[in-house]
Amino acid sequence: MKFFIILTCFILMTAFIAPTIPQNKKQNLTKESTANKLTGLLLNYDCTDFFFNNPPDQINGQVLDEQIALFARAGVSVLLCNTNAQRTNYASEAFESFWQSYDPDGPDDQPFLADMLPERRANYRRMIASMRALHLQGVDYPARVIQRCREHQIAPWISLRMNDIHDNDRINHPIHGTFWREHPQYWRVSDRKIDYYDRALDYAHPEVRARYQSLIEETLARYDVDGLELDFMREPYLFKPGHELAGGKILTEWLQLVHQLVKNAEKKRNHPIKIGVRVPANPITAQNLGLNVTEWVQLGLVDLVVVTPRWATMDTNLPMQIWKQLLSPYRVTLAGGLEIREQSYPDGPARLTTPDVAFGAAAATLYNGADVIYLFNYFPSMTKNGWTLNQYINALQTMCSLDRLVMQPRRHLLTFRDVFAPGEATDYPLPATGKRLLFRLPTGPKPVGRLVIAKIGIKTGDEMGEKTIELLVNSTRCEYIEKQGAVYIYKIPEGVVQDGVQLLEVVSSGEELVTVERVEIEVGGV
């Protein structure tokens, strides 16, 4: 039940977010250089969290300033301020704002809110009322964020969600823009609704690209940013199924136009403006979706590449090495993206992550080649959902560098990747059933002088007597410690732990097959 509540929070919490980049030279073949790279910690702040958590009668510019001050205290070096889903959280002329057509004095069942679940209406109208209230006070949210960031030496970026389709099963939900609702012919699949992503917009239509171009132009004209992020992870399904490769050519061409818009804005602003993209973890999948990331980098269109899971779980096995190899000849920052949820397998139990699990993922991601960590859905409002404020601040400060991370206790969970191109076969490592099961778990730099524990979670009902499940790590048998419920615990000797990744071999010493549902390595404190 607690889990259900947390998930419900997430449905609200994880509505939206955006990323940041630092520099702007034409990309060229070059020896790998750290000269232009972003450092510190990148944090995407979605377009709703601030407004969900500050009611209309309390919201004002100063509260927002305090929010940015908190990010500064936490060590955020680049704030990627997300300003849109299908609507904007400021009074845009390109998109409708969230509160456009909303009657603040009308009832909960006014037409604008009618297609929402009744129990969701109060929260939602409070949120948009907060946006409206701030606007009516004369505070331009993105401009104020940018101003405060500059005062705190945080690089201000705006992150635009390129295809957000939250609540797309309810066509008249107030979250949607008129453009989306009135043009089902632009949906990537318009003649049915089977898949969550069917109603994403199809970028093969010039009208779709024009719509997002107008938002980009408005953003560059109105807001003096250090960078513009194109967030293709809301959602990465941008073309009609089976038309992704042809679509990718259209998208690359369009990005050249966007790049030119940014170059024009640089001249006007008289300082560099970077371009970032948020893309799926696997480079082959990205390409199969029409997201030709390496080509964009080769063409000099992109300064920041954020490799990330979508939402379901932190991906503790981001293939950073291959991304680093792909991008190392070019001037680009490679960021590894962390999500706030953790889950071992699709539809399995999920929970809000804890700092030690985030540290594990961050340490492995940096060790494997990321230049920086990029956080998504790491809202300050987490401090109302399980994290203390100190934990939040300390956690973000810690994720600024691998040196700090490795001083902390950390946990490495085996998770899965949650984005595949249509028709790609999945490769979920869990759950797994057999008598001898092997798992690879990235763990970052080899811990020295630390207690290292492995935990193997067995499907309830599959538990056997003690010591009937053996664990080998990197071909060496580990000492069995105890069983906690259906979780078998082992100690991994220090000489056995390897740099980078551990190979866990779970062996059922009896005749029965065993189903493993969770694999974890814990590195104790210094």
Q: Are 444 and 459 in contact (CB under 8 A)?
A: no
Q: Phi, psi at residue 419, to the nearest 5°?
A: -130, 125
3-state secondary structure of 161: strand
Footprint of a second copy on 141-180 (CB under 8 A): none
Q: Does residue number 1 form part of the binding site for a second copy (CB under 8 A)?
A: no
DSSP string covering 436-485: EEEEEEEEESPPSS--EEEEEEEPTT---STT-EEEEETTEE-EEEEEET
Tell me whether the omega of the peptide bond preceding residue 493 falls within 30 degrees of 0, making it cis: no
- Give the tokens for residue 395: 């956690």
Q: Which of 300, 346, 409, 422 binds a second copy (CB under 8 A)?
A: 422
Shortest distance (Å) from residue 9 CB to a second copy: 30
Q: Which of 37, 121, 234, 240 binds a second copy (CB under 8 A)?
A: 240
Residue closer to a second copy (CB basis): 179 or 428: 428
Q: Which of 424, 466, 479, 494 binds a second copy (CB under 8 A)?
A: 424
Q: What is the largest CA-CA distance in the chain?
A: 72
Tokens 């293939």 correspond to 319
DSSP string covering 30-51: -S--STT---SEEEEE-SSHHH
Residue closer to a second copy (CB basis): 66 or 494: 494
* Cα 162 from Cα 105, distance rounded (Å): 32
Q: Does residue number 436 form part of the binding site for a second copy (CB under 8 A)?
A: yes
* Cα 292 from Cα 253, distance rounded (Å): 11
Shortest distance (Å) from residue 181 CB to a second copy: 22
Strands 41-45 and 78-82, sheet pairing: parallel
Shortest distance (Å) from residue 473 CB to a second copy: 7
Strands 341-343 and 350-352, sheet pairing: antiparallel
Shortest distance (Å) from residue 193 CB to a second copy: 13
Q: Does residue number 491 form part of the binding site for a second copy (CB under 8 A)?
A: no
Q: Does residue number 194 form part of the binding site for a second copy (CB under 8 A)?
A: yes
Q: Does residue number 500 form part of the binding site for a second copy (CB under 8 A)?
A: yes
Shortest distance (Å) from residue 252 CB to a second copy: 13
3-state secondary structure 413-437: ECCCCCCCCCCCCCCCCCCEEECEE
Stretch that binds a second copy, among 56-64, 419-427, 447-455, 508-516 (CB under 8 A): 419-427
3-state secondary structure 84-148: ECCCECCCCCCCCECCCCCCCCCCCCCHHHCCCCHHHHHHHHHHHHHHHHHHHCCCCHHHHHHHH
Residue closer to a second copy (CB basis): 214 or 321: 321
Footprint of a second copy on 282-341 (CB under 8 A): 283-284, 287-288, 294-295, 298, 319, 321-322, 325-326, 329
Footprint of a second copy on 58-77 (CB under 8 A): none
* Cα 347 from Cα 345, distance rounded (Å): 6
Shortest distance (Å) from residue 504 CB to a second copy: 7
Q: Which of 429, 444, 447, 457 binds a second copy (CB under 8 A)?
A: 429
Stretch that binds a second copy, among 25-33, 106-114, 223-231, 398-406 (CB under 8 A): 25-33
Stretch that binds a second copy, among 95-103, 147-155, 164-172, 241-249 (CB under 8 A): 241-249
Q: Does residue number 34 form part of the binding site for a second copy (CB under 8 A)?
A: no
DSSP H or E segment with residue 361: helix 355-367
Q: Does residue number 242 form part of the binding site for a second copy (CB under 8 A)?
A: yes
Stretch that binds a second copy, among 62-70, 152-160, 462-470, 473-481 (CB under 8 A): 473-481
* Cα 492 from Cα 453, distance rounded (Å): 6
Interface pattern 107-146 for a second copy (x via CB under 8 A): ----------------------------------------
Q: Phi, psi at residue 412, to the nearest 5°?
A: -115, 115
Shortest distance (Å) from residue 340 CB to a second copy: 24
Q: Which stretches of the chain bind a second copy, using CB under 8 A?
A: 29-31, 189, 194, 240-243, 245-246, 283-284, 287-288, 294-295, 298, 319, 321-322, 325-326, 329, 421-429, 436, 438-441, 473-475, 498-505
